């Protein structure tokens, strides 16, 4: 018998909560950070290495996969899990956000969006129904509704019109998704920075009924203060008994602030992308390993970190391989960054469970305020 998709909250501390999402492919401990595997790979990482960092779930991008190698090919090859050798849960986005980001290369109408591939200029079309079909072919465990996400700032009429279209698309996504035991469909709240529009969007989604709810339309350039203002009320507008997912977030302090406001899931390219540009993330903040100050430094990136990078390699070595553009530079730094992000989540889960999250947050901010270790 297929185990149904379910969410449980084990403990709360303030507005923060910890628990787990059960799926037939395993449990996702929450709050959860999802590494992004855009093109069926978390860049520079083997899937088993991603698992070793503590990740329970990965994110895949519909837009990229539909263009190359195509969802049909992945389906013929046994689905995305088998294709990329990751047997844990996978969440796929709907393609909407990335298509909307194409700007002049796309054309929006009531039924969907037509766009040109950034790879070869070929013409494609996405509708709610087609997005559901692609995500089904990929074998995604958590499917996202097809929606429109306007870039900010935008006037209220534009945000309202867009939100209403997204809610009509949410209903169409729900109908097209159908009944798929063990697979989940998440709705996406829109409404920009407007509390009333966010409430209208939440009501519309609740009426349709989803397995989880995302706060969409944030982390699009509005800044942390504006994002936190929305998160002060948006999660509470969504059903309490379902997971809440903040899409595309973020930096460690964004993540901590979002968890404190009741968010259960997040994803971001930051740890892996930073790993390829010489940026390390530690308890003490961001470290630029390209900087000459590390050239003779025999110490690990973070002496308290248990990742293979910090266990076996010095700052001097990381500096050297990054400056020399050696592939291992991206591998080592991505592994450390993903490990750090997962440790961050584990620390928050423990603190929430132990009702010490306020003190944990104070420690988190104090350590970052101290900054990186003194140079040699
Ligand atoms: Zn490390």
Question: In percent, how much of the chain has pLDDT > 90?
Answer: 93
CATH assignment of the domain containing 65: 3.20.20.105
What's the gap in Å between 340 CA and the centre of ligand 1? Answer: 7
Cα 234 from Cα 189, distance rounded (Å): 9
Residues 279, 263, single domain; the answer is no
pLDDT digits (tens, 9 = 90+) for 236-257: 999 999 999 999 999 999 999 9
Residues 115 and 241 placed together within one structural domain of the fold? yes
- Distance between CA 28 and CA 5 in Å, rounded? 11
Angstrom distance (rounded) from CA 214 to CA 145: 10
Closest listed residue to residue 348, CA positions, set 336, 338, 356: 356
**C-alpha of residue 312 to centroid of ligand 1, in Å:** 9
Question: Is residue 223 included in any domain, yes or no?
Answer: yes
* Rounded Cα distance, 173 and 185, in Å: 9
Q: Which of 254, 269, 284 is the last residue of a domain?
A: 269
- Which residue bears the tokens 């520079």? 44
In a domain, 208, yes or no: yes
Q: 269 burial class (0-12, 13-18, 19+ CB within 10 angstroms)?
A: middle
Has residue 95 got a pLDDT over 80?
yes
CA distance 58 to 138: 13
Read off the tokens for 136: 């089904």
Residues 152-156 have a mean pLDDT of 88
Q: How far is the CA of 285 from the centre of ligand 1 (A)?
A: 13
The 10s digit of each residue's pLDDT in 340-364 is 999 999 999 999 999 999 999 999 9
* pTM assigned to the model: 0.97
Residue 2 pLDDT > 90 = no
Report the distance separating Cα 324 and Cα 239, nearest Å: 50
- Say if residue 345 is in the same domain as residue 239: no
Distance, in Å, from the CA atom of 252 to the CA atom of 319, rounded to the nearest integer, reads 23
User: Does 149 share its domain with 195?
Assistant: yes
pLDDT of residue 102: 85
Co-location of 301 and 212 in the same domain: no
Residue 253's domain spans which residues? 6-269
Q: Cite the active site residues.
A: 93, 267
Average pLDDT over all residues of the chain: 96
Q: Are residues 287 and 258 in the same domain?
A: no
Q: What is the mean pLDDT of residues 183-190?
A: 98
209 and 339 belong to one structural domain: no
Q: Is the pLDDT of residue 313 over 70?
A: yes
Number of separate domains in the chain: 2
* 1 is a domain residue: no
Q: Which residues make up each annotated binding site for substrate?
A: 93-97, 147, 190, 217
Residues 200 and 245 in one domain: yes
Examine the pLDDT at 150 and tell me if it is beyond 90: no
Residue 42 pLDDT greater than 90, yes or no: yes
Spacing, Cα 329 to ligand 1 middle (Å): 13
Same domain, 208 and 226: yes
Residue that finishes a domain, picked among 241, 269, 297: 269
DSSP 124-159: EEE-HHHHHHHHHHHT-SEEEPP---PPSS--HHHH
Write down the pLDDT at residue 100: 84
Residues 287 and 254 placed together within one structural domain of the fold? no
- Let me know whether 30 and 142 are in one domain: yes
**Inside any domain, residue 64:** yes
What is the pLDDT, as a whole number, of residue 151?
A: 80
d(CA 309, ligand 1 centre) in Å: 5
Percent of the chain at pLDDT > 70 equals: 99
Q: Is residue 57 assigned to a domain?
A: yes
Look at residues 269, 291, 316 and tell me which one is the last residue of a structural domain.
Answer: 269
**Which long-range contacts link 157-162 to residues 24+ away (Cβ below 8 Å)?**
159/190, 159/191, 159/192, 159/194, 159/197, 160/191, 160/194, 160/197, 162/190
pLDDT at 232: 98
Ligand 1 centre to CA of 61 (Å) is 27
Residue 141 lies in a domain: yes
pLDDT at 31: 98
Residue 185 parent element (H or E)? strand 184-189
* Residue 131 within any structural domain of the chain: yes
Q: Are residue 192 and residue 223 in the same domain, yes or no?
A: yes
Query: What residue numbers does the annotated binding site cover?
Result: 93-97, 147, 190, 217, 305, 307, 310, 336
Structural domain contains residue 376: no
- The confidence band for 3, taking pLDDT boundaries of 50, 70 and 90, is low
Strands 265-268 and 244-246: parallel
Annotated binding site for Zn(2+): 305, 307, 310, 336
């Amino acid at each position: 018998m297929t185990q149904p998709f379910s969410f449980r909250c084990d403990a709360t501390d303030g507005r923060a909560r910890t628990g787990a999402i059960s799926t037939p492919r395993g449990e996702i401990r929450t709050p959860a950070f999802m590494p992004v595997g855009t093109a069926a790979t978390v860049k520079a990482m083997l899937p088993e290495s991603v698992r070793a960092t503590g990740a329970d779930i990965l994110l895949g991008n519909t837009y990229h996969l539909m263009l190359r190698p195509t969802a049909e090919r992945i389906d013929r090859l046994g689905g995305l899990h088998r294709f990329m050798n990751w047997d844990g849960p996978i969440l796929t986005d709907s393609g909407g956000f990335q298509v909307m980001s194409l700007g002049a290369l796309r054309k929006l109408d009531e039924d969907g969006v037509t766009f040109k591939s950034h790879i070869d200029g070929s013409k494609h079309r996405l509708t709610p129904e087609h997005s559901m079909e692609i995500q089904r072919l990929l074998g995604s465990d958590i499917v996202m509704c097809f929606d429109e996400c306007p870039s900010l700032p935008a006037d209220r009429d534009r945000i309202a019109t867009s939100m209403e279209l997204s809610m009509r698309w949410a209903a169409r996504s729900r109908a097209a998704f159908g009944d798929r035991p063990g697979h989940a469909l998440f709705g996406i709240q829109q409404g920009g920075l407007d509390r009333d529009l966010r409430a209208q969007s939440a009501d519309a989604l609740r009426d349709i009924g989803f397995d989880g709810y995302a706060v969409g339309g944030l982390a699009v350039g509005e800044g942390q203060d504006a994002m936190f203002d929305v998160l002060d009320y948006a999660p509470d507008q969504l059903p309490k008994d379902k997971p809440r997912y903040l899409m595309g977030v973020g930096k460690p302090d964004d993540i901590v602030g979002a968890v404190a406001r009741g968010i259960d899931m997040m994803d971001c390219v930051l740890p892996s992308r930073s790993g390829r540009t010489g940026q390390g993330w530690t308890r003490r903040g961001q470290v630029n390993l390209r900087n000459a100050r590390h050239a003779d430094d025999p110490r690990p990136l973070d002496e308290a970190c248990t990742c293979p990078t910090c266990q076996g390699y010095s700052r001097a070595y990381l500096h050297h391989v990054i400056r020399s553009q050696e592939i291992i530079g991206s591998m080592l730094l991505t592994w450390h960054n993903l490990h750090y992000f997962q440790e961050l989540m584990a620390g928050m889960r423990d603190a929430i469970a132990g009702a010490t999250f306020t003190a944990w947050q104070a420690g988190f901010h104090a350590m970052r305020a101290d900054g990186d270790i003194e140079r040699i």
